[in-house]
Amino acid sequence: MRIVATAEVPAVARRAFAPLGEIVVRSAELADQPSTELLIVRGTALDAETLERLPGLRAIARTGAGYDNLDVAAATRRGVPIVYAPGIGSQPVAEGTVALLLAAAKRLRELGAVVEQAAWAARYEVAGLDIEGACLGVVGYGSIGRRVGRLCLGLGMEVIAYDPAIEPFAEPDVELVALEELLERADVITLHCALTENTRGLVDRRLLERVKPGAILVNVARGEIVESEDVLADALACGRLSAVALDVFPTEPPEPGHRLYADRRVICTPHAVGLTSRWNEQVFHSLARDVQAVLAGGLPANVLNPEALTGLSVGHDRAPRSIR
Protein backbone atom coordinates (compact mmCIF):
# COMPACT_ATOMS: atom_id res chain seq x y z
CA MET A 1 0.00 0.00 0.00
CA ARG A 2 1.30 3.46 -0.91
CA ILE A 3 1.31 5.50 2.35
CA VAL A 4 2.31 9.18 2.27
CA ALA A 5 2.71 11.44 5.32
CA THR A 6 2.64 15.22 4.97
CA ALA A 7 5.30 15.66 7.68
CA GLU A 8 7.85 13.50 9.43
CA VAL A 9 6.49 10.76 11.67
CA PRO A 10 8.13 9.01 14.64
CA ALA A 11 9.38 5.44 14.61
CA VAL A 12 6.28 4.26 16.45
CA ALA A 13 4.15 5.39 13.49
CA ARG A 14 6.22 3.37 11.07
CA ARG A 15 5.87 0.32 13.30
CA ALA A 16 2.11 0.79 13.68
CA PHE A 17 1.56 1.05 9.91
CA ALA A 18 4.16 -1.56 8.93
CA PRO A 19 1.50 -4.27 8.22
CA LEU A 20 0.03 -1.93 5.59
CA GLY A 21 3.21 -0.60 4.02
CA GLU A 22 6.12 1.80 4.38
CA ILE A 23 5.44 5.46 5.15
CA VAL A 24 6.95 7.95 2.70
CA VAL A 25 7.19 11.61 3.74
CA ARG A 26 6.24 14.12 1.03
CA SER A 27 5.56 17.54 2.53
CA ALA A 28 6.01 19.73 -0.54
CA GLU A 29 5.04 17.44 -3.44
CA LEU A 30 1.78 16.06 -2.14
CA ALA A 31 -0.26 16.73 -5.27
CA ASP A 32 2.38 14.95 -7.35
CA GLN A 33 1.77 11.62 -5.65
CA PRO A 34 -1.20 10.23 -7.65
CA SER A 35 -0.55 6.66 -6.52
CA THR A 36 -1.12 7.55 -2.85
CA GLU A 37 -3.64 5.21 -1.23
CA LEU A 38 -3.38 6.39 2.39
CA LEU A 39 -2.56 9.95 3.43
CA ILE A 40 -1.37 10.73 6.96
CA VAL A 41 -2.05 14.44 7.47
CA ARG A 42 0.11 16.35 9.95
CA GLY A 43 -0.29 20.13 9.94
CA THR A 44 -0.63 20.49 6.17
CA ALA A 45 -3.82 21.86 4.63
CA LEU A 46 -5.65 19.43 2.38
CA ASP A 47 -8.04 21.06 -0.08
CA ALA A 48 -10.39 19.79 -2.77
CA GLU A 49 -7.93 20.53 -5.57
CA THR A 50 -5.23 18.38 -3.99
CA LEU A 51 -7.71 15.59 -3.37
CA GLU A 52 -8.67 15.59 -7.05
CA ARG A 53 -5.03 14.91 -7.91
CA LEU A 54 -4.96 11.80 -5.71
CA PRO A 55 -7.27 9.43 -7.63
CA GLY A 56 -6.10 6.32 -5.80
CA LEU A 57 -6.72 7.67 -2.31
CA ARG A 58 -8.61 5.19 -0.12
CA ALA A 59 -8.37 6.81 3.33
CA ILE A 60 -7.01 9.80 5.23
CA ALA A 61 -5.57 9.58 8.74
CA ARG A 62 -5.56 12.86 10.69
CA THR A 63 -3.22 12.97 13.68
CA GLY A 64 -4.40 16.14 15.41
CA ALA A 65 -7.50 16.97 17.43
CA GLY A 66 -8.78 19.62 15.02
CA TYR A 67 -9.62 19.19 11.36
CA ASP A 68 -10.07 22.76 10.13
CA ASN A 69 -7.16 22.13 7.74
CA LEU A 70 -9.12 19.43 5.88
CA ASP A 71 -11.80 19.83 3.23
CA VAL A 72 -14.01 17.19 4.82
CA ALA A 73 -16.87 17.76 2.39
CA ALA A 74 -14.59 17.18 -0.62
CA ALA A 75 -13.25 13.97 0.89
CA THR A 76 -16.79 12.79 1.58
CA ARG A 77 -17.87 13.46 -2.00
CA ARG A 78 -14.92 11.38 -3.15
CA GLY A 79 -15.90 8.56 -0.79
CA VAL A 80 -12.66 8.91 1.17
CA PRO A 81 -13.11 8.34 4.93
CA ILE A 82 -11.09 10.42 7.39
CA VAL A 83 -10.07 8.57 10.53
CA TYR A 84 -8.80 10.46 13.54
CA ALA A 85 -8.09 9.95 17.25
CA PRO A 86 -10.28 12.27 19.34
CA GLY A 87 -9.59 12.62 23.03
CA ILE A 88 -6.19 10.93 23.07
CA GLY A 89 -4.28 14.21 23.08
CA SER A 90 -6.44 16.03 25.64
CA GLN A 91 -4.33 15.34 28.73
CA PRO A 92 -0.90 16.02 27.11
CA VAL A 93 -2.18 19.30 25.65
CA ALA A 94 -3.73 20.27 28.99
CA GLU A 95 -0.46 19.57 30.78
CA GLY A 96 1.42 21.55 28.13
CA THR A 97 -1.00 24.43 28.57
CA VAL A 98 -0.33 24.55 32.30
CA ALA A 99 3.42 24.39 31.66
CA LEU A 100 3.20 27.41 29.33
CA LEU A 101 0.90 29.20 31.76
CA LEU A 102 3.35 28.74 34.62
CA ALA A 103 6.35 29.69 32.49
CA ALA A 104 4.65 32.93 31.46
CA ALA A 105 3.31 33.71 34.92
CA LYS A 106 6.68 33.11 36.57
CA ARG A 107 8.46 35.00 33.73
CA LEU A 108 10.94 32.23 33.11
CA ARG A 109 12.22 33.59 29.81
CA GLU A 110 13.10 36.91 31.44
CA LEU A 111 14.73 35.23 34.42
CA GLY A 112 16.71 32.97 32.10
CA ALA A 113 18.04 36.05 30.30
CA VAL A 114 19.28 37.41 33.64
CA VAL A 115 21.49 34.35 33.97
CA GLU A 116 22.55 34.26 30.32
CA GLN A 117 23.58 37.92 30.36
CA ALA A 118 25.24 37.74 33.78
CA ALA A 119 23.02 40.61 34.92
CA TRP A 120 22.46 39.12 38.37
CA ALA A 121 21.15 42.27 40.03
CA ALA A 122 18.39 42.52 37.44
CA ARG A 123 16.66 39.52 39.00
CA TYR A 124 15.03 41.88 41.48
CA GLU A 125 13.29 43.69 38.62
CA VAL A 126 11.37 40.58 37.52
CA ALA A 127 8.34 39.66 39.64
CA GLY A 128 5.96 36.90 38.61
CA LEU A 129 2.27 36.30 39.21
CA ASP A 130 1.02 34.46 42.29
CA ILE A 131 -0.88 31.50 40.86
CA GLU A 132 -2.74 30.64 44.04
CA GLY A 133 -5.78 32.87 44.19
CA ALA A 134 -5.42 34.10 40.61
CA CYS A 135 -8.39 33.78 38.22
CA LEU A 136 -8.13 31.54 35.16
CA GLY A 137 -10.50 32.20 32.26
CA VAL A 138 -10.94 29.21 29.93
CA VAL A 139 -12.32 30.06 26.48
CA GLY A 140 -13.72 26.80 25.04
CA TYR A 141 -14.65 24.31 27.74
CA GLY A 142 -14.36 21.02 25.89
CA SER A 143 -12.16 18.06 26.77
CA ILE A 144 -8.91 20.03 26.88
CA GLY A 145 -10.38 23.13 28.52
CA ARG A 146 -11.98 21.05 31.28
CA ARG A 147 -8.71 19.26 31.99
CA VAL A 148 -6.85 22.56 32.17
CA GLY A 149 -9.48 23.86 34.56
CA ARG A 150 -9.14 20.85 36.84
CA LEU A 151 -5.35 21.06 36.88
CA CYS A 152 -5.48 24.75 37.73
CA LEU A 153 -8.04 24.20 40.48
CA GLY A 154 -5.37 21.95 41.99
CA LEU A 155 -2.98 24.90 41.92
CA GLY A 156 -5.43 26.98 43.92
CA MET A 157 -6.72 29.11 41.05
CA GLU A 158 -10.26 30.36 40.67
CA VAL A 159 -11.56 28.96 37.36
CA ILE A 160 -14.23 30.51 35.15
CA ALA A 161 -15.14 29.40 31.63
CA TYR A 162 -16.87 30.63 28.49
CA ASP A 163 -18.36 28.29 25.90
CA PRO A 164 -21.66 29.11 24.16
CA ALA A 165 -21.83 25.60 22.70
CA ILE A 166 -22.48 23.89 26.02
CA GLU A 167 -25.29 24.02 28.54
CA PRO A 168 -24.68 25.15 32.12
CA PHE A 169 -22.85 22.34 33.86
CA ALA A 170 -22.79 20.93 37.36
CA GLU A 171 -19.18 21.58 38.33
CA PRO A 172 -19.36 23.38 41.67
CA ASP A 173 -15.80 24.73 41.46
CA VAL A 174 -16.08 26.21 37.93
CA GLU A 175 -18.37 29.06 36.92
CA LEU A 176 -19.68 29.41 33.36
CA VAL A 177 -19.76 33.12 32.43
CA ALA A 178 -20.20 35.42 29.45
CA LEU A 179 -17.09 36.28 27.46
CA GLU A 180 -17.24 39.93 28.59
CA GLU A 181 -17.21 38.89 32.25
CA LEU A 182 -14.36 36.45 31.67
CA LEU A 183 -12.24 39.18 30.09
CA GLU A 184 -12.87 41.52 33.01
CA ARG A 185 -12.09 38.98 35.73
CA ALA A 186 -9.37 36.66 34.41
CA ASP A 187 -5.73 37.14 35.35
CA VAL A 188 -4.86 34.39 32.86
CA ILE A 189 -6.88 33.68 29.69
CA THR A 190 -6.32 30.37 27.92
CA LEU A 191 -7.81 29.55 24.51
CA HIS A 192 -9.22 26.09 23.76
CA CYS A 193 -11.89 26.80 21.16
CA ALA A 194 -11.92 25.24 17.71
CA LEU A 195 -11.24 27.38 14.65
CA THR A 196 -14.57 28.27 13.03
CA GLU A 197 -15.90 31.30 11.18
CA ASN A 198 -17.10 32.56 14.56
CA THR A 199 -13.74 32.19 16.29
CA ARG A 200 -11.36 33.20 13.47
CA GLY A 201 -9.78 36.48 14.59
CA LEU A 202 -11.71 36.39 17.87
CA VAL A 203 -8.75 37.86 19.75
CA ASP A 204 -8.50 41.24 18.08
CA ARG A 205 -7.76 44.77 19.24
CA ARG A 206 -11.29 45.35 20.49
CA LEU A 207 -11.26 42.22 22.60
CA LEU A 208 -7.81 42.93 24.02
CA GLU A 209 -8.91 46.41 25.05
CA ARG A 210 -11.44 44.74 27.34
CA VAL A 211 -9.15 42.31 29.17
CA LYS A 212 -8.09 42.94 32.74
CA PRO A 213 -4.94 45.11 32.63
CA GLY A 214 -1.82 42.98 32.99
CA ALA A 215 -3.54 39.71 32.02
CA ILE A 216 -1.65 36.76 30.56
CA LEU A 217 -2.84 35.15 27.31
CA VAL A 218 -2.14 31.49 26.47
CA ASN A 219 -3.04 29.97 23.09
CA VAL A 220 -2.63 26.26 22.37
CA ALA A 221 -5.76 25.96 20.18
CA ARG A 222 -5.35 27.50 16.71
CA GLY A 223 -3.18 30.44 15.73
CA GLU A 224 -5.84 32.05 13.56
CA ILE A 225 -8.04 32.61 16.62
CA VAL A 226 -5.70 35.56 17.20
CA GLU A 227 -6.08 38.27 14.57
CA SER A 228 -2.33 38.86 14.15
CA GLU A 229 1.01 39.02 15.92
CA ASP A 230 0.72 42.82 15.81
CA VAL A 231 -2.31 42.91 18.09
CA LEU A 232 -0.45 40.88 20.71
CA ALA A 233 2.71 42.95 20.41
CA ASP A 234 0.74 46.18 20.82
CA ALA A 235 -1.17 44.81 23.82
CA LEU A 236 2.13 43.96 25.48
CA ALA A 237 3.61 47.35 24.61
CA CYS A 238 0.76 49.26 26.28
CA GLY A 239 0.60 46.96 29.31
CA ARG A 240 -2.82 45.51 28.55
CA LEU A 241 -1.12 42.10 28.52
CA SER A 242 1.80 41.30 30.81
CA ALA A 243 2.81 38.06 29.09
CA VAL A 244 1.88 35.79 26.19
CA ALA A 245 2.45 32.05 25.74
CA LEU A 246 1.91 30.48 22.31
CA ASP A 247 2.05 26.97 20.94
CA VAL A 248 0.19 28.00 17.76
CA PHE A 249 0.57 30.96 15.44
CA PRO A 250 -1.46 32.95 12.86
CA THR A 251 0.91 31.58 10.21
CA GLU A 252 3.02 28.48 10.76
CA PRO A 253 5.91 28.57 10.96
CA PRO A 254 5.83 32.17 12.22
CA GLU A 255 8.14 34.87 10.92
CA PRO A 256 10.96 34.81 13.52
CA GLY A 257 11.89 38.43 12.88
CA HIS A 258 8.54 39.77 14.05
CA ARG A 259 8.86 42.11 17.02
CA LEU A 260 6.49 39.97 19.08
CA TYR A 261 9.03 37.16 19.38
CA ALA A 262 11.82 39.50 20.46
CA ASP A 263 9.81 40.43 23.56
CA ARG A 264 11.02 38.34 26.52
CA ARG A 265 7.52 38.33 27.96
CA VAL A 266 6.57 36.00 25.10
CA ILE A 267 7.15 32.24 25.46
CA CYS A 268 6.71 29.99 22.42
CA THR A 269 6.70 26.32 21.53
CA PRO A 270 6.43 25.03 17.92
CA HIS A 271 2.86 23.61 17.89
CA ALA A 272 4.21 20.61 19.73
CA VAL A 273 3.42 21.11 23.41
CA GLY A 274 1.11 18.09 23.42
CA LEU A 275 3.39 15.72 21.50
CA THR A 276 4.53 13.19 24.09
CA SER A 277 5.81 9.63 23.76
CA ARG A 278 2.53 8.21 25.04
CA TRP A 279 0.56 10.42 22.65
CA ASN A 280 2.57 9.16 19.69
CA GLU A 281 2.08 5.56 20.76
CA GLN A 282 -1.67 5.84 21.28
CA VAL A 283 -2.52 8.03 18.29
CA PHE A 284 -0.66 6.14 15.60
CA HIS A 285 -1.82 2.73 16.79
CA SER A 286 -5.41 4.02 16.93
CA LEU A 287 -5.14 5.41 13.40
CA ALA A 288 -3.57 2.22 12.07
CA ARG A 289 -6.37 0.09 13.55
CA ASP A 290 -9.03 2.33 12.03
CA VAL A 291 -7.38 2.33 8.60
CA GLN A 292 -7.24 -1.46 8.72
CA ALA A 293 -10.96 -1.50 9.53
CA VAL A 294 -11.67 0.70 6.50
CA LEU A 295 -9.65 -1.53 4.20
CA ALA A 296 -11.47 -4.59 5.55
CA GLY A 297 -14.83 -3.02 4.74
CA GLY A 298 -15.73 -2.39 8.37
CA LEU A 299 -16.64 0.69 10.37
CA PRO A 300 -13.66 2.33 12.09
CA ALA A 301 -13.99 3.40 15.72
CA ASN A 302 -13.34 7.06 14.91
CA VAL A 303 -14.28 8.47 11.52
CA LEU A 304 -15.11 12.10 10.79
CA ASN A 305 -17.26 11.39 7.76
CA PRO A 306 -19.03 8.04 8.05
CA GLU A 307 -21.11 9.15 5.03
CA ALA A 308 -18.04 8.40 2.90
CA LEU A 309 -18.34 4.76 3.88
CA THR A 310 -22.03 4.50 3.10
CA GLY A 311 -21.84 6.25 -0.24
CA LEU A 312 -23.84 9.26 0.92
CA SER A 313 -22.44 12.50 -0.45
CA VAL A 314 -23.46 15.31 1.86
CA GLY A 315 -22.21 18.65 3.06
CA HIS A 316 -20.14 18.80 6.21
CA ASP A 317 -20.16 21.34 9.04
CA ARG A 318 -19.14 19.38 12.10
CA ALA A 319 -16.60 21.72 13.65
CA PRO A 320 -17.46 22.19 17.32
CA ARG A 321 -16.89 25.47 19.06
CA SER A 322 -14.47 23.92 21.50
CA ILE A 323 -11.85 21.23 20.92
CA ARG A 324 -13.20 18.12 22.63
**Catalytic residue positions?**
222, 252, 271
User: Cα(188)–Cα(215) distance, rounded to whole angstroms?
Assistant: 6
Q: Alpha-carbon distance 300 to 309, whole Å?
A: 10
Apex 273 CA angle, 268 and 278, nearest 5: 165
CB 47 within 8 A of CB 293: no
Contacts of 222 (CB under 8 A, 6+ apart): 66, 68, 194, 195, 199, 248
Helices (H) and strands (E) in the chain, counts: 12, 12
Tell me whether residue 203 is exposed, middle or buried, using C-beta atoms within 10 angstroms of its C-beta: 0 to 12, 13 to 18, 19 or more: buried
* Nearest-angstrom CA–CA distance, 152 and 174: 11
Between CA 176 and CA 308 the distance in angstroms is 37
Whole-angstrom distance, CA of residue 307 vs CA of residue 293:
15
Do residues 323 and 221 make contact, with C-beta atoms less than 8 angstroms apart? yes
Task: Count the helix, strand and coil residues of the chain and give each as a percent rounded to the nearest 5.
Answer: 35, 15, 50
Q: Angle at CA 6, nearest 5°, toward 4 and 8?
A: 95
